[in-house]
Amino acid sequence: MDATSTLLADRAPSRAAVRGRFRRGPQGSDLNWALAFLVPYVAVFLLFVLYPVGFALWLGHRPADYVQLFSDPIYLQTIVNTLIYVVLGVNLHLFGALLLSGFFMRRSWAVRSLLLVYILPWAIPAIPIFIAIHWMLNGEWGFLNNLLWDVFHINGPSWLNSHWLGLLSVVVSYVWKWMPFWTVIFLAGRMAIPQDVYEAAAMDGAVGIRRFVYVTFPMLANLYLICTLLSTIWTLGDFNTVYFVTGGGPAWTTEVLATLGIRDAFTMDDPQLGMAAVLTALPLLIPLVIVLMRKLSKSQVQL
Amino acid sequence: MSATVAPLAGRPPRLPAPRRRFRPVYQIVEIVGCLLILIWTLLPIYSMIQVALQSNGDVFSSTLWPAHPTLGAFWTVLTEGYWYVSHFWLEIGNNLFIGVTTVVLTLLIGSLTSFVIGRMHFRQAWLVSSAALFTYVIPASFLAIPLYLIMRVYGLYDHLWAVTMVEVTIATPYAIFIFQQYGASIPIELDESARIDGASPLVIYYRIYLPLMAPALVAVGTYALLLAWNEYLYLFLLLSSPNTLTVPVALSQFLNSDQAPWNIMMATAVLYALPPIAIYYAFRKHMSAGLTMGGVKG
């Protein structure tokens, strides 16, 4: 570096000229290069994002579909399920991740090596592990009920055969799969807090729970908000958890919008109805997207 | 802690040992916490492996560990010795193809785009960033229905490339953000001095930008592979012929049949889960570097 800059200092005039040209934006052949470099991404965006989004809106333009949806008890149940799933799932796994990231700040060897194991759910592909959870929760032969019987002598319920337990199973599976990812994000956020802030706060008597409330959380608040918004959007679009853990059952009582849309479109062979079901998430989705896009483009936080 | 407090002259130096570490209560709480997290994390994984280690007759027993552990189910899958897994290698080959093409295309497109946005001072670059941001905040599954219909128009339906392109679409925005952030730490003077020597943007991209971006490339590549390996919906919707069958779709067909041999199914699941785990742990250092970079600058 030093060698380069001294080298450059020797030819200061030409460097300034180049920099001037360079900083003003590309011209001539440079402009052509810039455009050529952008072609692949622009093509991907137009072909696989913009056109599908427009097509999706066009597919969902028939009012009759919405009338049909709102007169369908399964659909109304689905709306309730989606809200429960998103609110409960997002808050549980993000708050859990925030607390656990504090635990993983401890420096002992046990905690450090635990982090290696704890990250496993994130690295394991979704389908195999959700199928395994589906089997684990089986009321008669499932591993969980065997465990409950052998350890506590409790007869476990058949988890997947009731609406509430089914929904609970889905939420817990989702938390299990995605909490490690957010824990690592918050861990990084905590590590970025300078140590002298804590030392100064300790002088003023902020220790233990007060340290978390008055120092750590305010410094992580922006990150936490962005993570909440992002996770809400992703949870809203999550298909795999519900589809594999309960399969929407029993009797379609644990469907969420993402799975119901696919079921209407492909099992019932009515793509327009399916798209209409998905599009009813827009009143929730659009404000989230606007707030999130403003937040992400303004601040430096990115995930 | 103690190192930052310089002992003042005339006073006895502070005791170096931090007290908290040696309090037994804290240690017990820590150990109990560790155990709970360990059980929580490993329970589903153990149940998966436990079923895979049983023989077919033992699956419906109620023991907590396999009575007669055997690797027979794994052997059956690897040798395609049961009609349900008779195309296992073809399926995993298809997954591998989709994974590798996704990684290569994501890295290529992401790095080219971030090069223009971050290093070429292109005026209209904000348009591209906003497009990427917009893509990033759309739930992928919401576009499944239109993409299913559109892929037929493009003639990509039932080609592995269709799924690759969907995964690339999902992964590139993340790649662009990470590359942009990482690229900001590479001094722009390097580019300028190369330009004085007459290098074209292509040469700068290829000879300076890419080599210096190596850690970020590894992180994003791992991310793209994990993403492709997590996919089910698009594999199921966009690929339909026996030649384009993939492991997740085969597993779900398993799940829907009545007489599924669960030990073989779980063995398949374990085998399918191994590659991403191995790759994650191999590149873990880079991965956390990438995430740390992403998570912090609140």
CA distance A15 to chain B (A): 7
Predicted local confidence at residue B144, as pLDDT? 92
pLDDT per residue over A213-271, tens digit each?
A: 888 888 888 889 888 998 999 999 899 999 999 888 788 888 899 999 998 898 888 88
Within an 8 Å CB–CB cutoff, is residue A4 touching chain B?
A: yes
Same structural domain for residues A116 and A203?
Answer: yes
Is there a contact between B172 and A299 if contact means CB atoms under 8 Å apart? Answer: no
Predicted local confidence at residue A18, as pLDDT? 52
Is there a contact between B165 and A44 if contact means CB atoms under 8 Å apart? Answer: yes
Same structural domain for residues A91 and A118?
Answer: yes
In a domain, A13, yes or no: no
CA nearest to B37 within chain A: A118
Q: Is B3 left (phi over 0), alpha (psi -120 to 50) or beta?
A: alpha
Chains A and B: how many Cβ contacts under 8 Å?
335
- Type of residue numbered B256: N
In a domain, A12, yes or no: no
* Distance separating the N- and C-terminal Cα atoms of chain A: 30
Same structural domain for residues A73 and A46?
Answer: no
Within an 8 Å CB–CB cutoff, is residue A249 touching chain B?
A: no
Residue B272 DSSP SS3: helix
Reply yes or no on whether the pLDDT at A23 is more than 70. Answer: no
Same structural domain for residues A159 and A292?
Answer: yes
CA nearest to A264 within chain B: B145
Confidence of residue A47 (pLDDT cuts 50, 70, 90): very high
Q: How far is CA A172 from CA A176, A236, A242, B277, in A?
A: 6, 16, 11, 22
Which of A53, A91, A186 lies closest to B137, judged by CA? Answer: A53
Same structural domain for residues A104 and A155?
Answer: yes
Average pLDDT for residues A198-216, to the nearest whole number? 83
Is there a contact between A185 and B291 if contact means CB atoms under 8 Å apart? Answer: yes
Same structural domain for residues A210 and A75?
Answer: yes
pTM for the whole structure: 0.86
Nearest to B47 among A29, A53, A136 (CB): A136
Is there a contact between B145 and A191 if contact means CB atoms under 8 Å apart? Answer: no
Is there a contact between B273 and A129 if contact means CB atoms under 8 Å apart? Answer: yes
Predicted local confidence at residue A293, as pLDDT? 83
In a domain, A17, yes or no: no
Nearest to A132 among B48, B202, B229 (CB): B48
Reply yes or no on whether the pLDDT at A28 is more than 80. Answer: no
pLDDT per residue over A170-180, tens digit each?
A: 999 999 999 99
Are A236 and A257 spatial neighbours (Cβ–Cβ below 8 Å)?
Answer: yes
Looking at beta carbons, which residues of chain A come within 8 Å of B47?
132-133, 135-136, 143-144
Residue A95 DSSP SS3: helix
Q: How high does pLDDT run on average in chain A?
A: 84
Looking at beta carbons, which residues of chain B come within 8 Å of A301?
294-298
- Type of residue numbered B3: A
CA nearest to A32 within chain B: B201
Q: Is the peptide bond before B211 cis (omega within 30 degrees of 0)?
A: no
Nearest to B34 among A52, A114, A141 (CB): A114
Are B31 and A110 spatial neighbours (Cβ–Cβ below 8 Å)?
Answer: yes
Looking at beta carbons, which residues of chain B come within 8 Å of A183?
none
CA nearest to B138 within chain A: A233
Reply yes or no on whether the pLDDT at A9 is more than 70. Answer: no
The interface residues of chain A toward chain B in range 191-230, judged by CB-CB distance below 8 A, are 191-192, 199, 219-220, 222-223, 230
Same structural domain for residues A83 and A32?
Answer: no
In a domain, A18, yes or no: no
Which residue among A39, A59, A79 closes a domain? A59
In a domain, A7, yes or no: no
Q: Which residue has the tokens 């190369």?
A: B194
Confidence of residue A149 (pLDDT cuts 50, 70, 90): confident
Q: What range does the domain containing A195 cover?
A: 65-298
Same structural domain for residues A164 and A240?
Answer: yes
- Type of residue numbered B134: F
Same structural domain for residues A79 and A208?
Answer: yes
pLDDT per residue over A274-297, tens digit each?
A: 999 999 999 989 999 888 888 877
Question: Structural domain tally of chain A?
Answer: 2
Angstrom distance (rounded) from CA B169 to CA B163: 10
Q: How far is residue A39 CA from its own chain's centroid? A: 29
Are A215 and A197 spatial neighbours (Cβ–Cβ below 8 Å)?
Answer: yes
Same structural domain for residues A181 and A34?
Answer: no
Looking at beta carbons, which residues of chain A come within 8 Å of B266?
131-132, 135
Which of A143, A70, A211 lies closest to B46, judged by CA? Answer: A143
Is there a contact between A271 and B145 if contact means CB atoms under 8 Å apart? Answer: yes
Looking at beta carbons, which residues of chain A come within 8 Å of B36?
none
In a domain, A100, yes or no: yes
Which residue among A59, A82, A105 closes a domain? A59
Burial B213-225 (b: 16+ CB within 10 A, else e): bebbbbbbbbbbb
In a domain, A162, yes or no: yes
Looking at beta carbons, which residues of chain B come within 8 Å of A177?
none
**Which domains occur in chain B, in start order?**
18-85+261-276 (no CATH), 87-256 (1.10.3720.10)
Which residue among A15, A35, A59 closes a domain? A59
Predicted local confidence at residue A184, as pLDDT? 87
User: B90 is written with which tokens?
Assistant: 């073809």
In a domain, A101, yes or no: yes
Neighbours of B21 (CB within 10 A): 12
Nearest to A278 among B48, B142, B196 (CB): B142
Predicted local confidence at residue A187, as pLDDT? 87
Nearest to B122 among A26, A110, A128 (CB): A26
User: B249 is written with which tokens?
Assistant: 């779709």
Same structural domain for residues A48 and A130?
Answer: no
Which of B260, B259, B235, B257 lies closest to B160, judged by CA? Answer: B235
Within an 8 Å CB–CB cutoff, is residue A56 touching chain B?
A: yes
| CATH number, residue A184 | 1.10.3720.10
Within an 8 Å CB–CB cutoff, is residue A76 touching chain B?
A: no
CA nearest to B113 within chain A: A38
Q: Residue ranges of the alpha helices (H) in A124-216?
A: 126-136, 143-152, 163-191, 195-203, 208-211
Are A244 and A127 spatial neighbours (Cβ–Cβ below 8 Å)?
Answer: yes
Name residues of chain B where pLDDT drops below 70. Answer: 1-22, 59, 61-62, 258, 287-298
Cβ neighbors of B236 (< 8 A, separation 6 or more) are B248, B249, B252
Same structural domain for residues A85 and A192?
Answer: yes
